[in-house]
């Protein structure tokens, strides 16, 4: 669960959430993504960022007002 302050949804908070999501995705699926990127001649960082954005939808958010 991710706790956020409703008044603090600026770009730095969004970037922090994206970086946390990237870490989660890389920890869970890093090897699979690397092999997929190599097999299909794609950039690993691009795939990682796309999957991290998708992963953000799986989080449960709690907003403090």
Structural domain count of the chain = 1
Query: pTM to 2 decimals?
Result: 0.81
pLDDT in tens, the chain (65 residues): 887 876 778 899 899 999 999 999 999 999 999 999 999 999 999 999 999 999 999 988 888 77
* Sign of the four-CA dihedral 44, 31, 49, 54: positive
* Domain around 22: 2-64
C-alpha–C-alpha distance, residues 65 and 27, integer Å: 32
The span from the CA of 23 to the CA of 21, in Å, is: 5
């Amino acid at each position: 669960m991710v706790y956020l302050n409703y008044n603090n949804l600026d770009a730095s908070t969004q970037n922090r959430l994206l970086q946390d999501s990237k870490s989660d995705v890389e920890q869970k699926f890093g090897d699979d993504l690397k092999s997929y990127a190599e097999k299909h001649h794609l950039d690993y960082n691009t795939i990682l960022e796309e999957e991290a954005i998708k992963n953000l939808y799986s989080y449960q958010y709690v907003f403090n007002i």
